[in-house]
Structure 1
Amino acid sequence: MVATATLSSKFQISIPKAVREAHHWQPGQEFAFIPKGSGVLLVPVPKLEDLMGIAPNADPDGYRDRNDRY
């Protein structure tokens, strides 16, 4: 899939419909811009409820807490 967009005078970009539909992106969804070399990686920010249960077998013991920070 090759799609392009143009940066407007207000520094806005419209995401092409084919890209939005392929990734199931919705209006109001939040995105993070991650610098990557000479470009930028655009990734959706997950909602907290979407992360629930992502690591069901993780062992919480041994993690740092605020008491051992400088």
Structure 2
Amino acid sequence: MSKTAILSSKFQITIPATVRAARGSKAGQVFALIPKGTGILLMPVPERGDLAGIAKTASAGGYRDRTDRI
């Protein structure tokens, strides 16, 4: 699904409708722009509610802390 977009004179880019529909993007959604080599990675920023419970099964055991450094 390779589509192109043009940077406007106001430095705005419109995401093609087929790409928006495939990814479920909505008007007003916030995106992070991450420089990657010679390109830019466009990532949606998750809502706070979407992150709830994401670390439920994380375990703090087995990690080194400052006291066991040499």
Same fold (TM over 0.5): yes
Alignment of 1:34-53 (within 5 A): 34-53=34-53
Q: Hey, what's the Cα distance between the residues in 2 that align with 1:60 and 1:28?
A: 36
Residue type of the alignment partner of 1:33 = L
Shift of 1:59: 3.5
Structure 1 unmatched ranges of 5 or more: 65-70
1:17 maps to 17
Residue type of the alignment partner of 1:12 = Q
Shift of 1:27: 0.2
How much is the aligned-residue C-alpha RMSD, in angstroms?
A: 1.6
Residue type of the alignment partner of 1:19 = V
Residue type of the alignment partner of 1:10 = K
Q: TM-score, normalised by structure 2?
A: 0.82
In percent, how many aligned pairs have the same letter?
Answer: 56
Structure 2 unmatched ranges of 5 or more: 66-70
Q: TM-score, normalised by structure 1?
A: 0.82
Shift of 1:60: 5.5
Count matched residues: 63
Question: Alignment partner of 1:35: what SS?
Answer: strand
